[in-house]
Amino acid sequence: MQESIGIVGAGITGLAVAYVLSPKYSITIIARDLPGDLGTKWASPWAGAVFHPQSKATRTQQEMQKASFKFYWDLAHQDGSSGVKIYQMTEYFDDRIDDSDIWYKTLMPDFRVIAKSELPDGVSMGVKYTALAINPLLLLPWLKKKLDERGVKFIRQEVKSLDEARKIAKSKIIVNASGVGSRELASDDAVLPVRGQTMFVKTEFNQLFMREGSEYTYIIPRAGSGGAILGGIKSDRLDSDVDVELKSDILRRVNHMTNGAFKELDLNSVTDIVGFRPGRTTGLRVERQGDVVHAYGAEGAGYIYSFGVAERVRELIEGTRLRANL
Protein backbone atom coordinates (compact mmCIF):
# COMPACT_ATOMS: atom_id res chain seq x y z
CA MET A 1 0.00 0.00 0.00
CA GLN A 2 1.33 3.42 -0.98
CA GLU A 3 2.26 5.91 1.72
CA SER A 4 -0.17 8.81 1.98
CA ILE A 5 0.98 12.44 1.63
CA GLY A 6 -1.20 15.51 1.96
CA ILE A 7 -0.55 18.74 0.06
CA VAL A 8 -2.06 22.08 1.08
CA GLY A 9 -2.51 24.32 -1.96
CA ALA A 10 -3.38 23.63 -5.59
CA GLY A 11 -1.38 26.42 -7.20
CA ILE A 12 1.50 25.62 -9.53
CA THR A 13 3.78 24.56 -6.64
CA GLY A 14 1.24 22.22 -5.06
CA LEU A 15 0.36 20.68 -8.44
CA ALA A 16 4.03 20.24 -9.35
CA VAL A 17 4.73 18.51 -6.04
CA ALA A 18 1.76 16.20 -6.59
CA TYR A 19 2.92 15.44 -10.14
CA VAL A 20 6.42 14.47 -8.96
CA LEU A 21 5.24 12.45 -5.94
CA SER A 22 2.14 10.73 -7.35
CA PRO A 23 3.89 7.86 -9.16
CA LYS A 24 5.10 6.57 -5.78
CA TYR A 25 2.72 7.98 -3.13
CA SER A 26 -1.01 8.29 -2.49
CA ILE A 27 -1.65 12.05 -2.76
CA THR A 28 -4.46 14.20 -1.38
CA ILE A 29 -4.53 17.89 -2.28
CA ILE A 30 -6.52 20.19 0.01
CA ALA A 31 -7.15 23.69 -1.28
CA ARG A 32 -9.57 26.58 -1.20
CA ASP A 33 -8.97 27.24 -4.92
CA LEU A 34 -8.63 24.60 -7.62
CA PRO A 35 -7.58 24.68 -11.29
CA GLY A 36 -10.34 26.36 -13.27
CA ASP A 37 -11.11 28.89 -10.51
CA LEU A 38 -10.48 32.52 -11.42
CA GLY A 39 -10.70 34.29 -8.07
CA THR A 40 -8.10 36.92 -7.19
CA LYS A 41 -7.27 35.28 -3.85
CA TRP A 42 -4.71 33.04 -5.49
CA ALA A 43 -1.94 33.84 -7.96
CA SER A 44 -1.40 30.87 -10.26
CA PRO A 45 -4.09 31.59 -12.91
CA TRP A 46 -2.96 35.20 -13.31
CA ALA A 47 0.79 34.78 -13.60
CA GLY A 48 2.63 35.91 -16.69
CA ALA A 49 4.37 32.54 -16.35
CA VAL A 50 7.42 33.13 -18.51
CA PHE A 51 10.48 30.99 -17.86
CA HIS A 52 12.81 33.87 -17.14
CA PRO A 53 15.67 32.63 -14.92
CA GLN A 54 16.11 34.52 -11.68
CA SER A 55 19.56 36.10 -11.72
CA LYS A 56 19.86 36.53 -7.95
CA ALA A 57 19.86 32.88 -6.93
CA THR A 58 21.93 30.61 -4.74
CA ARG A 59 23.55 27.55 -6.27
CA THR A 60 20.72 25.42 -4.87
CA GLN A 61 18.11 27.75 -6.33
CA GLN A 62 19.86 27.64 -9.69
CA GLU A 63 19.65 23.86 -9.66
CA MET A 64 15.92 24.03 -8.95
CA GLN A 65 15.42 26.40 -11.86
CA LYS A 66 17.39 24.06 -14.12
CA ALA A 67 15.19 21.11 -13.14
CA SER A 68 12.05 23.11 -13.76
CA PHE A 69 13.28 24.31 -17.14
CA LYS A 70 13.99 20.72 -18.22
CA PHE A 71 10.46 19.67 -17.31
CA TYR A 72 8.84 22.51 -19.26
CA TRP A 73 11.22 22.18 -22.20
CA ASP A 74 10.35 18.50 -22.56
CA LEU A 75 6.64 19.23 -22.15
CA ALA A 76 6.71 21.93 -24.85
CA HIS A 77 8.07 19.35 -27.29
CA GLN A 78 5.73 16.56 -26.22
CA ASP A 79 2.26 18.06 -25.71
CA GLY A 80 1.14 21.37 -27.18
CA SER A 81 -2.18 21.14 -25.34
CA SER A 82 -0.33 21.82 -22.06
CA GLY A 83 -0.04 25.52 -22.86
CA VAL A 84 3.77 25.47 -22.75
CA LYS A 85 5.41 26.96 -25.84
CA ILE A 86 8.89 27.95 -26.99
CA TYR A 87 9.59 31.59 -27.87
CA GLN A 88 12.56 33.84 -28.53
CA MET A 89 13.47 36.07 -25.59
CA THR A 90 15.00 39.55 -25.71
CA GLU A 91 16.17 40.70 -22.29
CA TYR A 92 17.31 44.26 -21.59
CA PHE A 93 19.15 45.67 -18.57
CA ASP A 94 20.04 49.15 -17.40
CA ASP A 95 21.92 47.98 -14.30
CA ARG A 96 24.72 45.87 -15.85
CA ILE A 97 27.20 46.26 -18.70
CA ASP A 98 28.11 42.66 -19.56
CA ASP A 99 27.06 39.04 -19.03
CA SER A 100 29.87 38.07 -16.66
CA ASP A 101 27.50 37.33 -13.75
CA ILE A 102 24.58 35.86 -15.72
CA TRP A 103 24.66 32.25 -14.52
CA TYR A 104 21.94 31.04 -16.90
CA LYS A 105 23.87 31.82 -20.10
CA THR A 106 24.88 28.14 -20.05
CA LEU A 107 21.30 26.99 -19.45
CA MET A 108 19.20 28.86 -22.00
CA PRO A 109 19.59 27.71 -25.62
CA ASP A 110 20.98 30.10 -28.24
CA PHE A 111 22.20 32.61 -25.66
CA ARG A 112 24.01 35.63 -27.13
CA VAL A 113 24.81 39.21 -26.19
CA ILE A 114 23.14 41.92 -28.28
CA ALA A 115 25.44 44.44 -29.96
CA LYS A 116 25.47 47.84 -28.24
CA SER A 117 24.36 49.52 -31.47
CA GLU A 118 21.10 47.54 -31.41
CA LEU A 119 20.04 48.54 -27.88
CA PRO A 120 17.19 51.01 -27.15
CA ASP A 121 17.99 54.30 -25.43
CA GLY A 122 18.62 53.87 -21.72
CA VAL A 123 19.59 50.20 -22.01
CA SER A 124 23.17 49.32 -21.08
CA MET A 125 23.18 45.63 -22.02
CA GLY A 126 20.94 43.08 -23.70
CA VAL A 127 20.84 39.37 -24.44
CA LYS A 128 18.78 37.01 -26.58
CA TYR A 129 18.03 33.34 -26.00
CA THR A 130 15.38 30.69 -26.53
CA ALA A 131 12.92 30.52 -23.65
CA LEU A 132 9.48 29.26 -22.68
CA ALA A 133 6.17 30.80 -21.76
CA ILE A 134 3.19 29.10 -20.20
CA ASN A 135 -0.52 29.77 -20.42
CA PRO A 136 -1.70 29.00 -16.86
CA LEU A 137 -5.32 28.75 -18.01
CA LEU A 138 -4.24 25.71 -20.05
CA LEU A 139 -1.47 24.23 -17.88
CA LEU A 140 -3.31 24.16 -14.54
CA PRO A 141 -6.28 22.13 -15.90
CA TRP A 142 -3.82 19.97 -17.87
CA LEU A 143 -1.97 19.11 -14.67
CA LYS A 144 -5.20 18.45 -12.79
CA LYS A 145 -6.35 16.07 -15.51
CA LYS A 146 -3.05 14.16 -15.36
CA LEU A 147 -3.27 14.01 -11.56
CA ASP A 148 -6.89 12.81 -11.70
CA GLU A 149 -5.74 10.01 -14.00
CA ARG A 150 -3.11 9.05 -11.43
CA GLY A 151 -5.69 8.82 -8.67
CA VAL A 152 -4.76 12.04 -6.85
CA LYS A 153 -7.63 13.16 -4.64
CA PHE A 154 -8.69 16.84 -4.60
CA ILE A 155 -10.59 18.21 -1.63
CA ARG A 156 -11.90 21.76 -1.80
CA GLN A 157 -11.57 23.12 1.71
CA GLU A 158 -9.87 26.04 3.42
CA VAL A 159 -7.98 24.76 6.45
CA LYS A 160 -7.05 26.74 9.55
CA SER A 161 -4.01 24.67 10.48
CA LEU A 162 -1.66 22.06 9.07
CA ASP A 163 -2.88 19.64 11.74
CA GLU A 164 -6.39 20.02 10.33
CA ALA A 165 -5.00 19.23 6.86
CA ARG A 166 -3.26 16.14 8.26
CA LYS A 167 -6.55 14.83 9.64
CA ILE A 168 -8.43 15.50 6.39
CA ALA A 169 -5.77 13.86 4.23
CA LYS A 170 -5.16 11.04 6.73
CA SER A 171 -1.47 11.58 6.07
CA LYS A 172 1.48 11.75 8.42
CA ILE A 173 3.48 13.96 6.05
CA ILE A 174 2.07 17.28 4.91
CA VAL A 175 3.52 19.52 2.20
CA ASN A 176 2.69 23.15 2.81
CA ALA A 177 2.38 24.81 -0.62
CA SER A 178 -0.21 27.33 0.51
CA GLY A 179 1.53 30.47 -0.74
CA VAL A 180 0.24 33.56 1.03
CA GLY A 181 -1.70 31.23 3.33
CA SER A 182 1.61 30.28 4.93
CA ARG A 183 1.55 33.53 6.87
CA GLU A 184 -1.05 31.86 9.10
CA LEU A 185 -0.48 28.16 8.50
CA ALA A 186 3.29 28.37 9.09
CA SER A 187 3.15 31.37 11.45
CA ASP A 188 5.54 33.11 9.05
CA ASP A 189 5.36 36.90 9.32
CA ALA A 190 7.75 37.23 6.36
CA VAL A 191 4.96 36.14 4.01
CA LEU A 192 3.14 39.00 2.29
CA PRO A 193 1.03 39.36 -0.86
CA VAL A 194 2.72 41.31 -3.65
CA ARG A 195 0.26 43.06 -5.97
CA GLY A 196 0.70 42.81 -9.71
CA GLN A 197 -1.23 44.53 -12.49
CA THR A 198 -1.01 43.52 -16.14
CA MET A 199 -3.21 43.59 -19.21
CA PHE A 200 -4.07 40.98 -21.80
CA VAL A 201 -4.17 42.27 -25.37
CA LYS A 202 -5.21 40.58 -28.58
CA THR A 203 -2.13 40.53 -30.79
CA GLU A 204 -0.09 38.40 -33.17
CA PHE A 205 3.12 39.55 -31.47
CA ASN A 206 4.90 36.31 -30.58
CA GLN A 207 8.21 37.19 -28.94
CA LEU A 208 9.17 37.48 -25.30
CA PHE A 209 10.59 40.80 -24.10
CA MET A 210 11.84 41.67 -20.63
CA ARG A 211 13.47 44.78 -19.17
CA GLU A 212 15.04 44.90 -15.72
CA GLY A 213 16.91 47.33 -13.54
CA SER A 214 15.29 50.70 -12.91
CA GLU A 215 12.03 49.38 -14.36
CA TYR A 216 10.24 46.05 -14.68
CA THR A 217 8.55 45.68 -18.07
CA TYR A 218 7.61 42.64 -20.12
CA ILE A 219 5.65 41.16 -23.02
CA ILE A 220 4.62 37.53 -22.65
CA PRO A 221 2.68 35.76 -25.43
CA ARG A 222 0.05 33.29 -24.17
CA ALA A 223 -0.16 30.08 -26.17
CA GLY A 224 -3.57 29.31 -27.60
CA SER A 225 -5.07 32.65 -26.55
CA GLY A 226 -4.43 34.87 -29.57
CA GLY A 227 -2.77 37.47 -27.39
CA ALA A 228 -0.10 38.48 -24.92
CA ILE A 229 0.34 39.82 -21.40
CA LEU A 230 1.81 43.31 -21.03
CA GLY A 231 3.28 44.38 -17.69
CA GLY A 232 4.46 44.99 -15.16
CA ILE A 233 4.66 46.33 -11.68
CA LYS A 234 5.17 45.15 -8.13
CA SER A 235 3.29 46.91 -5.35
CA ASP A 236 2.37 46.51 -1.71
CA ARG A 237 -1.18 47.74 -2.36
CA LEU A 238 -3.78 45.21 -1.24
CA ASP A 239 -6.79 46.40 -3.23
CA SER A 240 -7.85 44.87 -6.55
CA ASP A 241 -8.85 48.14 -8.23
CA VAL A 242 -7.33 48.76 -11.66
CA ASP A 243 -4.85 51.65 -11.71
CA VAL A 244 -5.75 53.46 -14.95
CA GLU A 245 -2.63 55.63 -14.97
CA LEU A 246 -0.47 52.53 -14.60
CA LYS A 247 -1.99 51.08 -17.78
CA SER A 248 -0.74 54.07 -19.76
CA ASP A 249 2.68 53.82 -18.12
CA ILE A 250 2.98 50.11 -18.96
CA LEU A 251 2.07 50.81 -22.58
CA ARG A 252 4.62 53.63 -22.78
CA ARG A 253 7.36 51.36 -21.43
CA VAL A 254 6.40 48.46 -23.71
CA ASN A 255 6.48 50.69 -26.80
CA HIS A 256 9.87 52.09 -25.87
CA MET A 257 11.23 48.56 -25.46
CA THR A 258 9.81 47.35 -28.80
CA ASN A 259 10.20 50.49 -30.92
CA GLY A 260 6.46 51.10 -30.97
CA ALA A 261 5.10 47.60 -31.59
CA PHE A 262 1.92 48.47 -29.67
CA LYS A 263 1.58 52.15 -30.60
CA GLU A 264 -1.88 51.57 -32.09
CA LEU A 265 -3.21 49.77 -29.01
CA ASP A 266 -6.49 51.11 -27.60
CA LEU A 267 -6.32 50.76 -23.81
CA ASN A 268 -10.12 50.50 -23.69
CA SER A 269 -9.87 47.20 -25.57
CA VAL A 270 -7.57 45.37 -23.15
CA THR A 271 -8.46 42.93 -20.39
CA ASP A 272 -7.13 44.15 -17.05
CA ILE A 273 -5.55 41.62 -14.69
CA VAL A 274 -4.85 42.25 -11.01
CA GLY A 275 -3.35 39.46 -8.92
CA PHE A 276 -1.38 38.89 -5.73
CA ARG A 277 1.90 37.02 -5.83
CA PRO A 278 2.85 34.89 -2.80
CA GLY A 279 5.82 36.93 -1.61
CA ARG A 280 8.19 36.37 1.28
CA THR A 281 10.61 39.05 2.42
CA THR A 282 13.26 36.46 3.30
CA GLY A 283 12.89 34.55 0.03
CA LEU A 284 11.91 31.10 -1.13
CA ARG A 285 11.46 28.48 1.59
CA VAL A 286 11.91 24.77 0.90
CA GLU A 287 12.50 23.12 4.25
CA ARG A 288 11.42 20.14 6.30
CA GLN A 289 10.30 20.56 9.91
CA GLY A 290 9.36 17.22 11.38
CA ASP A 291 6.53 15.81 9.29
CA VAL A 292 5.87 19.08 7.46
CA VAL A 293 7.72 20.10 4.29
CA HIS A 294 7.34 23.80 3.52
CA ALA A 295 7.40 24.93 -0.13
CA TYR A 296 6.42 28.56 -0.61
CA GLY A 297 7.66 32.12 -1.04
CA ALA A 298 8.64 32.18 -4.74
CA GLU A 299 6.66 35.40 -5.31
CA GLY A 300 6.48 35.97 -9.09
CA ALA A 301 8.78 33.04 -9.88
CA GLY A 302 6.46 30.18 -8.95
CA TYR A 303 6.42 28.67 -12.43
CA ILE A 304 10.17 29.12 -12.77
CA TYR A 305 10.86 27.15 -9.59
CA SER A 306 7.84 24.81 -9.48
CA PHE A 307 9.14 21.46 -10.66
CA GLY A 308 12.59 22.04 -9.18
CA VAL A 309 10.94 22.75 -5.83
CA ALA A 310 8.91 19.57 -6.29
CA GLU A 311 12.06 17.52 -6.82
CA ARG A 312 13.59 19.02 -3.68
CA VAL A 313 10.44 18.25 -1.69
CA ARG A 314 10.72 14.63 -2.77
CA GLU A 315 14.33 14.54 -1.60
CA LEU A 316 13.33 15.94 1.78
CA ILE A 317 10.52 13.42 2.17
CA GLU A 318 12.71 10.50 1.22
CA GLY A 319 15.58 11.63 3.40
CA THR A 320 18.14 11.92 0.60
CA ARG A 321 18.73 15.48 1.69
CA LEU A 322 18.37 16.33 5.36
CA ARG A 323 17.86 20.05 4.93
CA ALA A 324 17.26 22.68 2.26
CA ASN A 325 16.98 26.01 3.95
CA LEU A 326 17.29 28.64 1.26
**Residue 285 assigned to a binding site:** no
Dist CA 286 CA 230 (whole Å): 30
Give the number of other Cβ atoms within 10 Å of residue 79's Cβ. 12
Dist CA 54 CA 68 (whole Å): 12
**Residue 313 assigned to a binding site:** no
**Residue 300 assigned to a binding site:** yes
SS3 per-residue string spanning the chain: CCCEEEEECCCHHHHHHHHHHCCCCEEEEEECCCCCCCCCCCCHHHCCCEECCCCCCCHHHHHHHHHHHHHHHHHHHHCHHHCEEEEEEEEEECCCCCCCCCHHHHCCCCCEECCHHHCCCCCCEEEEEEEEEECHHHHHHHHHHHHHHCCCEEEECCCCCHHHHHHHHCCCEEEECCHHHHHHHCCCCCEEEEEEEEEEEECCCCCEEEEECCCCEEEEEECCCCEEEEECCCECCCCCCCCHHHHHHHHHHHHHHHCCCCCCCCHHHCEEEEEEEEEECCCCEEEEECCEEEEECCHHHHHHHHHHHHHHHHHHHHCCCCCCCC
**Residue 150 assigned to a binding site:** no
Tell me, what amino acid is at 123?
Answer: V
The residues near 304 (Cβ < 8 Å, ≥ 6 apart) are 51, 52, 53, 54, 65, 68, 298
Dist CA 265 CA 270 (whole Å): 9
Binding residues: 159, 218, 277, 300
Binding residues for FAD: 159
Binding residues for D-dopa: 218, 277, 300
